[in-house]
Chain A
Amino acid sequence: MTWISQHWQTLTALTIVTATLVVFLIRAIRHRKTPGCGHNCGCAKK
């Protein structure tokens, strides 16, 4: 109990950091297939 009360700040901070990493990974995988100007389809939209 005392260990947690001593380190709760570190634990919360590390949880936030891990969550951020997970979100970034999911995003990187999911966003891959959408076309943008990095993939020219040769059919410029008006």
Chain B
Amino acid sequence: MSTGDEHPIPKVALVGHPNVGKTTLFNQLTGERRKVGNYAGVTVEKISATIYTPHGHQMELVDLPGTYSLTPSSPDERVTRDVLLGDLDGEESPQLVISVVDASSLERHLPLTLQLIELGLPVIVALNQVDRAEAKGLRLNPQVLTDELGVPVVACQATSGKGIVQLKQALRFPLPPASERRWKGNAAVEHAIADLTKQLESQGLERPEAHALQLLGESDYRTQAQPHLSRVAQAAALDVAADLIKQNHNPEEEISALRSQTIRRAISAAAHEMGDEGETFSDKIDRVALHPIGGWTLFAAIMFAIFWSIFRFAEVPMGWVEAGVGFIKDKVGGMLPEGDLNSLLTDGIIEGVGAVVIFLPQILLLFFLIGLLEGSGYMARATFLMDRVMARVGLSGKSFLPLLSGYACAIPGVMATRSISSNKQRLLTILVLPWQSCTARLPVYAILIPLLIPSILGQTTMMFFIYFLGTGTALLVAWLLSKRIGIGEAAPHFLLELPPYRLPDFGYVFRHVIDRGLAFLKKAGSLILGIVIILWALGTYPKAPEGESQFDHSAMGCIGNFLEPVVKPLGWDARLGTATLASFAAREVFVSQVAVSFAIEEDEDDEEAFRDQIRSAIKTSEKPDGSPAYPPLVVLSVLIFYIYALQCLPTTAVVQRETKSWKWALAQLAGMSIFAYLAAFIVYQGGTFLGF
């Protein structure tokens, strides 16, 4: 048998029934570059193109004329058979055959595949039109089909390009070996096949067994004159067939029956219909879980439950972390006399790292719940459901969970994008993820929203609107960006690839949670530590003279003053400018910064009273001319800025780690800040123009 090694450019042939999607697949594999020629001596078009495997090997892809079987009924179909058997002059037989079949009617398509396998050529089955099979309620298992047929089976949907990457990967070197014939006949038939094979081999015919099976299985092929087959070979076949018939065997019927049997066995093992007796436990659950209404209801309920438990159950351990941080701060602060080192350790490092570590309970809980969903098999369904929705904006179904995590904290969300296999979709998800309203924004909203709306109902509605605005913008921008950077290869999520439901492996889930937790702490331990040290320095030096505000004198304060003309068009003064600048370290800093600038002492025991004090200070502040310094429009402009700005350097650090690219991390930081600035600008200037 010839293998790829002997030929510099191996030939790969697409074979399948007419209308199975061969042309579509050919175009997907080649990017529509095609060469049209003619087969020698016949007026049949030869369509071919050069393709490259994922690792750069060159191959020639030939689209053979569509045929229902290797028993031809037209000149086109004869070309297909003769090329495959190596009988056409000047046409080498291919080194690999891609058998394209229609997944929604395997009974009709697999006989040809079986014949192709019998040719002794390596075969890859492209299980096309999977979408139609799914729509018909057919459930297929490509892995079982692979085992039954002994050749790789790749599910695909040529019209949408799903599975094309996987198909290309199956083409890689070394080419898969040819599979054995899948059936065995009775003694007489097997003897006849072996006998004829030996005779044809001694005649010097290529692919003797393939020819023998073809000659015995099809009477026309041995009786009628064949332009590309010798009379001697046909004579030998006639003899062997006559012998069989004498023993009361009918070679055509028996071989055809054996093939059908093989196919029925393969199909009953690999496919079943929803609702028939082959329906598994998983299918029964899926009837609800993937139901057009029930599925979405269940999905919404599960997501709500996750969301709710992250906030509800993480509250208690978050309190412990807070208390622990306070305790360490007191201890360390007590060990050193007042001074810069004391301040660096307590106000800088312990407070700063503590402000990030406080999210650890949420992160652990989130990853635990994700682990349960993944381990039980539901995650694959959720991904499948979301795939179509997310694809509209250029994201993958797997982007959904990271985006959901972003409501807790962007950092675990960014880390959770690792499961997205397409690099472009992963990048896109990371880029828009910080627009999901995270918990660190809540303290800022808690100060600002009551300044705008007094009623509780109005405040709740406003909160809802804020979440909606963040997510809506994230999806819209993802859609716009996906047009620019391209979506890349869409990962195929077919129903038939859904794993069965099972009990999660708790050991695995816990290990996963611990790994993620440690990864987060390591980041908090190194990068975030560095960031808080530098921010502390910017807020501490140069030193203010006795009795003056340290912040106004510090490098950060100077930058804030310098920025005043920049933030003026947003309606802000220097105080808001510096507080906002300081909160680029972490948003919650806004609150303490504003408090410091109004000289309000934080009351550890009564948070609400503390917030009330800040709010009344904001409300009563006046400009030198006596007009209010922070009218509602200014508050709204600040709020809009906090909804949109990426004010979280730890997130930028993690994005850099995950994308391994400073370019994207900084582009995201700059892009989101400019976006936030423009949004606040439009709101303030528009509001002023309208007379608010």
Contacts and interface: CB of A to CB of B under 8 A. Distances in A.
Interface of A: 8-10, 12-14, 16-17, 20-21, 23-24, 28, 31-32, 34-41, 43-46
Given A9-B342, A17-B534, A17-B537, A39 B660 contact: yes
Contacts of A34: 660
Contact of B422 (A10, A13, A35, A44): A44
Contacts of A32: 662
A13 B340 contact: yes
A36 B424 contact: no
B339 A9 contact: yes
21 contacts: A9-B336, A10-B339, A12-B340, A13-B340, A14-B340, A14-B537, A16-B344, A16-B533, A17-B344, A17-B537, A28-B662, A31-B662, A34-B660, A37-B658, A38-B427, A38-B661, A38-B663, A39-B660, A39-B661, A44-B421, A45-B421
B423 A44 contact: yes
B344 A44 contact: no
B661 A13 contact: no
Given A10-B339, A20-B530, A44-B489, 15 more contacts: A9-B336, A9-B337, A16-B344, A21-B534, A24-B530, A28-B662, A34-B660, A36-B660, A38-B427, A38-B661, A38-B664, A39-B661, A40-B423, A44-B165, A45-B421
Contact of B533 (A8, A9, A17): A17
Q: B interface, by DSSP: helix, strand, loop or mixed?
A: helix
Contacts of A17: 344, 533-534, 536-537
Contacts of B489: 44
Nearest to A44: B421
Nearest to A39: B661
B54 interface: yes
Interface in B468-507: 488-489
A40 to B, nearest CB: 4
A23 B525 CA distance: 14
A11 B296 CA distance: 61
Contact of A37 (B165, B343, B426): B426
Contacts of B660: 31, 34-39
A37 B659 contact: yes
B453 interface: no
A44 B424 CA distance: 10
B392 to A, nearest CB: 21
A16 B536 CA distance: 11
A32 B659 CA distance: 11
Interface residues of B, number: 36
Interface string B652-688: 0000101111111000000000000000000000000
Interface of B: 54-55, 165, 169, 336-337, 339-344, 421-424, 426-427, 430, 488-489, 529-530, 533-534, 536-537, 540, 656, 658-664
A38 B534 contact: no
Contact of A9 (B341, B656, B659): B341
A16 B336 CA distance: 16
A36 B661 CA distance: 7
B340 A36 contact: no
Contacts, number: 77
B658 A36 contact: yes
Given A13-B344, A16-B344, A34-B660, A40 B488 contact: yes
Contacts of A23: 530
Nearest to A10: B340
A8 B340 CA distance: 9
Contacts of B421: 44-46
A9 B421 CA distance: 50
A13 B534 contact: no
Given A20-B530, A36-B658, A40-B423, A9 B340 contact: yes
A21 B535 CA distance: 11
Contacts of A36: 658-661
A20 B533 contact: yes
Contact of B659 (A14, A20, A21, A38): A38
Contacts of A35: 660
B363 to A, nearest CB: 21
A1 to B, nearest CB: 17
Contacts of A8: 341
Q: Which one of A28, A39, A41 has the greatest number of beta carbons of chain B within 10 Å? A: A39
Contacts of A40: 423-424, 427, 488
Contacts of B656: 31
Contacts of B337: 9
A28 B662 CA distance: 8
5 smallest beta-carbon distances between A and B, as pairs: A36-B660, A38-B661, A9-B339, A38-B659, A9-B341
Contacts of A12: 340-341
Nearest to A38: B661
B399 to A, nearest CB: 13
B305 to A, nearest CB: 30
Nearest to B538: A17
A32 to B, nearest CB: 7
Q: Which one of B54, B169, B340, B658 has the greatest number of beta carbons of chain A within 10 Å? A: B340
A33 to B, nearest CB: 9
B659 A13 contact: no
Q: Which one of A16, A28, A46 has the greatest number of beta carbons of chain B within 10 Å? A: A16
A20 B534 contact: yes
Nearest to B667: A38
Contacts of A20: 529-530, 533-534
B522 to A, nearest CB: 14
Contacts of B426: 37
Contacts of A41: 423
A38 to B, nearest CB: 3
Nearest to A18: B537
Given A17-B533, A17-B534, A37 B427 contact: yes
Contacts of A31: 656, 660, 662
